[in-house]
Structures are given as structure tokens and as C-alpha cells.
Chains A and B, each alone.
Chain A
Amino acid sequence: MNDMSRPPVAAPPKISAEDVVSFCDFFYKKTGISMDASRRYFIDRRLEERMAANDCKTFREYLALVKFQPGGGEMQALINEMTVNETYFFREDYQFQCLTRHMLDEIADRRGNNRAPIRIWSVPCSTGEEPYTIAISILENWGRANDFDIEILASDIDSRVLGRAQEGIYEARALHRVPTKVRDTYFRKLDNDRWQVIDDLRESVDFSLVNVCNPTQMARMRGIDVIFCRNLLIYFDDLSRRRAAEHFYEALNPGGFVALGHSESMSRISNIFNPRKFPEAIVHQRPVS
């Protein structure tokens, strides 16, 4: 068969600059995530994939599907494509040291005789490395762990990563900072390059789909003692950051803590938290009273 006789290859659907601006605006309103229209290649590629998957010939047709599809399945698929999920165990581990050396003791001391569970929330939890790291850090490094019930909640806006998080299977490179003894205690080897978190640990973390800009979903999150929200707010604009910070305030118990990513600063977002400087990290505390 010569070139002339080949069937024509379908060109990818065309997405104009106006389409991208319109999409960024829509995506922001739905998720609070500010997509920069200058990242055309990233956005176009993912939109084209979703349009092809739904057999949409034009961007307008696809946007109508996303907006009006009953059940919102395509909106979720789009969110899954547009969000970045790259992490590993014990990433920026100084914050977990801060948790087990200081924050948890403060929370436990404030509890007094009240033995309500200590509740820790990892958001976004991506594929689960962070909430499992939190669980392992507590079990390994907090001497009072057996005196309290501890609940670890883990949420993400991306439903696909939540499935992977619950499955708890990781390539060896995700475990490169995990000490051998810890790895052998909390993981089982599946094959040469894959490890799975042990069942007890996987079953102790509660994974859920949450958009931190959605007031209805955030209203379910209450009575939290520590929130790890690292490297999420950098994708938000000022207003969405403020909104998220206020949702966190309401989700936290008085005296509860928020840990942000190392390049993020709560003082540039909102003054409703008090900065707390510990030897390992600066975190942000809801005032006790």
C-alpha cells in the first residue's frame, strides 16, 4: 500500500486560544485551580485526549458535555487529567518530625482526660504516599501513639489517584527515602520493583474525594487536629487560597495545625492563623480560643 492509498489520519480537534481561556475560566470556577493559559501545550494535549475519548468534534461540544452531563463523570475525568500527581514517601519529612516531636504532644496535652480521637487530614493525598507516611511516622516515632485513637483521613480531588492510594502499590523509587527496617515492617514485596503497603495500614487510612474549594464537601470535614496541605495552594489564585484557608480554619479544632508546602506561606494568604515556629518547621495554628 503506498502513501496515497492510506486512509486519512484524523487530525486532532482544533482548540483555539479563546477556547483555552474559556476552559481555564470554567475549570477555575469549578475547582478553584487556576490554570495558566500560557501552558497551552499541557492543556491542549489533555483536552484533546478527553475530546477524542468522548468523540467530540469541537471544543464547544466537549464543554457542553462536561457542563451538563448528568452525574458529572466527564468533569471528574477532566479533573483527573489536569491535576498533577507526583510524590514519594517521607517527602519533606521535617514536617513529619515536627508532627511527632511537637504537634501531637500539644494536641494530646490539650485533650486532658478527653480521649476523643486525634484526627489528621492529608489533602491532597495524591496516590497515598503522604497519608501512609504520616501513619508510619506516628507508629514509629510518637511514644504516646498507643494512648490515643488516631484517625488519618486522606482526600484528593482526583478520583483515579484515590483508587491507587487505596491499593497502596508503589514502585521502588517512591520508597527511596524509606529506611529498610521501616520498609520491611510496613510493606510487602510484590516483585522486583513493586511494593504494597500492608493491609493493616491500608485499612487504617480513610480515603475520600474532596475539593477544598467546595463548601458543601468541606462542611463534612470537621474536628480535625492537623491538616497537611502541601503544594496545593500554589495552584490557586488569591481568592481561592483565602477560601481554602477559611475552610481549613472551620475544619480544625481550636489549637489545630495546618502544615503547608515549603514554598507556601499562610501569612500571604490569610491572617486568621497564628504562625508556630518549631525547631523542624513553621506551621500555622488555629487560635486555641
Chain B
Amino acid sequence: MALLKAKAAENVANPASQSGVSPASLDSDDPMERRRAVQQCVEEPNPVAALLGLLREEHENIVRQAAFTELAALGTSEAAQGLAELLSNADPALRNGALEALVAMPEQAMGLLAPLAFCDDPDVRIFAVMMANELPSERTADWLIALAAKEQDANVCSNLAEAIGGTGRRDALPVLQAIIERFPREPYLAFAAETAMTRIREG
């Protein structure tokens, strides 16, 4: 038989447990070492600032993802606020990473929805809608419906229609109808809103 017993816990090569005690450097050429340095950042006095600063400098995805995970694990309002600021960054990978990290800290993320609704940048409002869509609750449904009632940007409304369709909330039907009437020259938006209304009625 070609199968061998490995004795996993004892015999498997063990570089990480040894390296776990040695400090790693953010300046290393090796992304795996920079990643380990990121994971050690949480021991520093001000880890949120360090991690957010690193995210703006670092371009290796595997290192960035570790920073996003550590920020989500910290779960503080400061971390959430810093991640929310990245939603308007020019780098789409940073924006997406920030959104995913925020979704992994639902309590803090929900607290950000209200201010994000007032952000001047429609792209940020779209991210906020996507975030709300990943945090299903009555509270986020209320927020989506309230934003849809006043939103003036067609692209944001398109995302709102899709998200609201998933809430099953019948009190959203007039708001969706109002979107159709607000954008009479946007047939795709009428389609999105009608699809959402159908989902709610059939749900």
C-alpha cells in the first residue's frame, strides 16, 4: 500500500510554529513574511493605524487580506471607520477588501450605514447598499427602504432595487414604484424595480 502514516501533529514540518515566536518584518521581500508581520501588528500599541497605513502601501493581495482580517477581528469602531474610508479609494481591490472586512464585523458595519447614506460619492453609497445586502436584518431593510425613498442617483437605485427585492418587505413596494417614476428615461431601472416588486409579491 502506498499510504504512509504521517503523525500529523508531531511530524509535519513545522516552520510556522517556530517562526510564530520570531518577529517578522513588514520590509521583507517575502510576502509570506510581510503577512506574518501584519498578523503580529495587532500586538502593537495602535494596530488600527498601522494596519490601515500598511493597506495603502502594500500591493500583494495575500498581505492585504491578512490586514483586512486583522482589522475585522479587532472589530472596533475605529477599525470600521478606517475601512469605511477605504470605500472611496481609487484602488478597486482596496474598496472590495474593505467591504468584505466590514461585512465580517456586522455590528460596527451596521452603525456606519446611516452616515454612509449621506456620502456625496454615489460609488460609496453603492458599496453601502452592497454591505447592507450582506447584513440581512430588519434594521438594514429599514435603511435600504429609507435610502431608496430619496436616492437621486440611478446606479445607486439599481443596486437598491436588487437589495430591497431580497428583503421581502411589502412596505417597500411604493418606494420601488417611486423609483420607476423618478427615472422615466432609464428603462433598465424600471426593469430592476419591477423585478424586485415581483420578488416581493411572490415571496
Physical interaction between A and B: yes
Set of chain A residues within 8 Å of B13, measured between Cβ atoms? 222-223
Least CB distance, B88 to chain A, in whole angstroms:
20
Least CB distance, A20 to chain B, in whole angstroms:
19
Complex-state Cα separation, A88 to B104, whole angstroms? 33
CB-CB contacts below 8 Å: A232-289 with B: 237-239, 242-243, 246, 249-250, 270-272
Set of chain A residues within 8 Å of B96, measured between Cβ atoms? 271
Given contacts A221-B8, A222-B12, contact A138 B65 (CB under 8 A): no
B7 within 8 A of A: yes
Segment among B15-23, B145-153, B167-175, B192-200 that sits at the interface with chain A: B15-23
Complex-state Cα separation, A147 to B2, whole angstroms? 8
Set of chain A residues within 8 Å of B105, measured between Cβ atoms? 239
Complex-state Cα separation, A155 to B7, whole angstroms? 11
Given contacts A219-B20, A239-B104, A270-B65, contact A149 B4 (CB under 8 A): yes
Segment among B66-74, B114-122, B154-162 that sits at the interface with chain A: B66-74
Set of chain A residues within 8 Å of B1, measured between Cβ atoms? 139, 200-201, 204
A148 within 8 A of B: yes
- Which secondary structure dominates where chain A touches chain B? mixed
B50 within 8 A of A: no
Set of chain A residues within 8 Å of B5, measured between Cβ atoms? 151, 203-206
A152 and B12 contacting across the interface, CB-CB below 8 Å: no
A139 and B2 contacting across the interface, CB-CB below 8 Å: yes
B2 and A249 contacting across the interface, CB-CB below 8 Å: no
A220 and B14 contacting across the interface, CB-CB below 8 Å: yes
B62 within 8 A of A: yes
A145 within 8 A of B: yes
Complex-state Cα separation, A63 to B66, whole angstroms? 33
Given contacts A243-B69, A243-B73, contact A151 B104 (CB under 8 A): no
B77 within 8 A of A: no
B106 and chain A: residue at smallest CB distance: A238
Least CB distance, A199 to chain B, in whole angstroms:
11
Complex-state Cα separation, A272 to B93, whole angstroms? 12
A58 within 8 A of B: no
Q: Which of B8, B66, B103 contacts A246 (CB 8 A)?
A: B66
Q: List 19 A-B contacts (CB under 8 A).
A: A119-B6, A119-B12, A146-B2, A148-B2, A149-B2, A151-B3, A153-B6, A205-B3, A206-B5, A215-B20, A219-B16, A220-B17, A221-B12, A238-B103, A239-B72, A243-B69, A243-B73, A250-B16, A272-B62
